[in-house]
Structure 1
Amino acid sequence: DVEKNSPPAYTLYYSQLRAAICYRYVGDFDRALSLLAKIEADYRFIDYRGTIRLERAETFSQSGKLAEALEAYKLVDSLYYRTEVGAKAAFQLAELLQFDLDDYAGAKMAYERAATAGPQEQVQLAQRLSSALGRYFTLWKEYDKADSILTIFDADSMWIARDSTGSPIRLEVVVDSLAKKPLVSKTDTARQKPDTLLQQAMLAKSPTDSLKPTVDTSLAAFAEGSEVTKDDQPKYRMIPRPDRNTTAASRALASYQLGELFHADLDSPDSTYFWLNRAVHFELDSVNAPRALYLMAGIANADTLDRFGDRKELYLFILSTYPRSRWVEASRVALGFPPTIKTTDVARTRFFVAESLFQAGLYQRAVDSLSVLVKETADSTYLPKSIYTLAWIYEHDLKEPDSAIAQYKTLAAKFGATAYGAAAVRRIPPPPEPPAADSSKTKTGEALEGPPRAGSASAAADSTFKSGGPPAGKAGADTTGLKLLLKNAPTDSVKRALDLDEIERIRMPRDTTRSRRAKESEEKY
């Protein structure tokens, strides 16, 4: 009857387990541990001992008994490996080692064990944290190597090469036996204590108050009246030292990356501030320094104990030291200033519309769009690029060299100091030279100087640059350098981008040494 009217074993186990957890939540750790020990010893709950032991380890951890918690977590992890309870115990063990005991190596191993079983979210988180700790050890090695090199950089004795036994490798120096004399020290034989029978016999034969010169090779450096010169010092093979500035930059970058790692992946504000502060102290580059200072200011703002100083000083330092950084606007907002309203460059939008038309092969519509842009835009960074693109389409796609020359001249006159203006100057062909005098014509009495006759090829070429339009009857003739350039243009230039770097790939023929020599020979003969 007692067994019939008693509740099921699971109900008894679950109710007592929840009661122990409630005791733990209210801070009554002793009653929680006592109740957990009671249900752990009950044979009816043998199938639930893994969960009971896990809750017992969690109670030890929250009560501050870290040593007991550590042993309890390890017990569950080892007894229930590759199960959901064991994976959860391994994950909590890793957090205990990482945040409370600062044992990153042990935490990495525990995260790897936690990734073997359990819910999918926990498995992915354990894998990410294990990878982050592996990245931590890699960055720490880079930082420690650079820091060690800079610490001993000026100590010459640390850069002496050594052999396999650890002995320094000496350089063999040839000594001139005639010029080199042994060091001689003066020893007071009266005050020197004899050590051997031979020394006693020698002292008995010599006067007690005499100073006899003796050769001392072991104590020559410390003998009275003798000095070791630079040439007498032993010379060793030295290890070449790395560049100091490069090593310092590597140390600063490794410190910054460690700070970013603790901020983004390991979720440790204290370690984040520590490493970013070191990076700034080690003269971090101007690209990453504003970001480091901004993160430090955010940590100082969130800290209620004021352990990291005044955040306003960090924000103001960003504004004053890095005014062109992209973190300036965020710092202004953090200080309470209104955000800066940025004006929209209409020419930029119009240029991209014209560029899309060009890519689609609608050259005339692209020219019309660029012409309106140039006409209605007074001040924009896209204005020189638009004029150059307009001239490019006239030259290569619409085959209107005169219109292209007019656009190039306008660009060179208004924006000659820009990169596009300089490119336009290179694409403007030089004016044609006057025709050479013909000896046969001079004999008949024709003038040597004067403008060429109307209808001649020279007149047609000259009219191109004077009138700005194509010469009559010679519109299809390639009489200018720009028209010659059209023949050399690639056939697939329609699909090219409008960037200056790619546009400049097609230029006038280069004035090489071979071409100059050919010109000189033609002029000579």
Structure 2
Amino acid sequence: MFTKNQKLSASLALLFILILVSGCELYRDFTTYFNTYYNAKTLFERTEEEILKQKKDPFQFREDAQGGKSIFPTSQTQQFSGETRNRNQFSNQQFGSQSSSQFGTGNLSSGNISQDLTKVIEKCSKILQYEKESSFFPDALFMTGKALYYQQEYSKAQRKFMELAGLKNSKYSLINKLWLAKTNLQLREFDEGLRLIEEVKKEAIEKEEDEIFNEASITKISFLIFREQYVQAINECQDFLKNSNDDEMKALVANQMGIIYLKINDDKNALEAFSSVLKYEPTFDVELKARLQLAKLLKKLNRVDESEEELTNMSNQGKFKNNLDEIYNELSDIYFEKGKYERAIDMLKFVDSTYKQLPTSGIACMKLGKLYEKGIQDYDSAHKYYNKAASSLAPRELKLEAGGKVKNFDRYFFLKKELTELNTQFKYLQNLKLFIQDSLDYAIAEKEYLDENKKMLEASSNQNNENAQAQEILRQQQQQQLQIQQQKLLLELNKNKNNEPIPLKVLIALGKAKKPERPTADSTSIKTSIAANLFNQGSLFYSEIEQYDSALVYFNKIMKDYSDKPIVPQTLFAMATYYETTNDTIKADSLYKIIVEKFPKDKLYEPAAIKLGIITKDSKKKEDVSSDPASLPFQKAEELYYQNKYQEAIDSFKVLANKFPKSRFGAKSLYYIGMIYEENFKNYDSAAVAYGILAKNFALEPLAKNAIAKYDEYQKEKERIKNEEEKKKAEELKKKEEEDKKKLEKEKPVENNTIKVEDNKTINDSLKDDLIPRNKKSYLERLKADTDSLKKKFINNEISDTLKSKINPIKKDSSKTKSPIPE
């Protein structure tokens, strides 16, 4: 038997032998693992987990990088289950706080995903650069490729995946091919990407790699949805349901298949797909969405009772207690459709009060607004809830719709208030005693209101009059009491469902009563304003609020009580339009006939006549054309244009423009002239002339607007070219002057101001620089050559005015020699 010390010695010897055998390779792997790989792997796994949590739609093909959002899921448990996702978030926060100091990776929940991915790439690059013989080299290569993919650096990622494929590492053979396929799809190399996807799916089935098969299928479905190839996407979903062994993923894909059927308006198959989700093992989120969609479809397909039963069952199940907002929003629609308004209102108010910080609260307010508007026709409550929806967290489209509703009801309440005031004014005109009585009543009620407030304030002020601070506190308390009193009065007013008389002093307290004013207009003006107000309210109900019967009530009131007012033709036309929408053509035609017979000069005469078939649009057009003597020659000129006889057309149009300068056909002729010159002859100057005349003489014609724009553009361009040419000429002239000046200053200047030569000529100072003679003969030869040169330049206008002024001719009093430069 060996002793303990002998066993220890043998173990150490064996370890020493193993180290000698494995040598540097084992040491390299050991140091690489603890120094670089372990940290990189830990950081990448945690970062990827965070990326997958941020994934909102597992079938989204492209998303913003935003610090590294993933394009496709790798774990259905993390990706598709709301409950699991929440649990993972909680556990990750705990794990992160524990491990941040240990591994130096920081808090990954901070949102710096892109920075973390960059750190992973940097750490892995050290292995790729210095540890090529390490067994961790393929791992580092794969992590680098995925990190680059998450950063949407697809070309770089592709190179890493291809490099890994070249190593022929069996561990990464299949999964690397999948990521290479994804990268090809993102790089729009669709054929190659889809080919690799199919290879991955086939191999994954053979090797029973379920997760890789799932991910490859999701990738292809996502791509087909992105390309809007919905039929192919459905086929891929069906293929997945046949071959996958993962019931959780099957539920996810079945739900997505239902969504695709909805996109192509195949409600029947969509219903079947959502129903099939429950046959598998869906996550909580998938089950919730599928069942809600199922209930919506049942209602859409007029199976309302089944829809109500499905939603009621969901609301009674404890697992959906946190999702009652979505369930009640859908269930309230069914109660609204069935006329069970109170039950619908209770549910929606529950959602509004309980889920204020969620978009579903805004959706509930919008539904409440519609219910009060369309169902109960309580416009005050409708206005209130539309206002809440417009400022809520509801989707943008819903908020915009709510904002439009608020504007409509603002307009309605304004018109309603205006009508009340007009009616009151008319009553006061008819009965002055009524105005006096109302003024007295208002004064008495106002005094009662003020006296009551005064007593209340005095009672509270007598309790404490010690100092200024106490007085300020007292004043604030009094203000609060008044506000509370007003709120109580307003609440009582809203509860007054029996329309019982409300005391005037209460209305004054709430600011809902106005002091009577003596009328300033006559009865005719007031009645005209009332008729216009009624028409505006009717139009609002017809076109915006879409309560057609209410609109008809207002129109009928105008015809009954204000049939002599100017608004009558418009009212008749609006009523006729209403009856047309209800297919009552007999009533509609009778109203159009009244307009034609009684209002021949009104602007609505022609539209009414066209409705009755008395005139047609074509005949009206011919009548307009034939009434102008320029019409026939214009038609002939226009025919020449359409026959591509452009010059003949221009000649004809010019005659028309000159002969009929005030006719609209003259304006059209000028426009044709400009258009032909511009588009057919490319003669922009002539086109600009025609457009300029048109803009000047026919500025109010619709055609002139386009011509004015073109003419202004032409003038600006012309001015620009002119400025550029002038600038260019100025630069060339300046350059020429500088060159001439340099030429004249080449030689050293002579000390004396003048130089005497044999023939007693005097040379100007500007030529002295060139006159430094070594002997008289050479000097005279050079002088003659210079003067001849200057003479040629002067004749050819090559010398600038500045330079000419500097060249003084030789004095005329020399009788022997003439000046070389002619005067």
TM-score by length of 1: 0.49
Structure with higher helix content: 2
Structure scoring higher RCO (CA < 8 A, sep ≥ 6) equals 1
Q: Which structure is larger by alpha-carbon Rg, 1 or 2?
A: 2
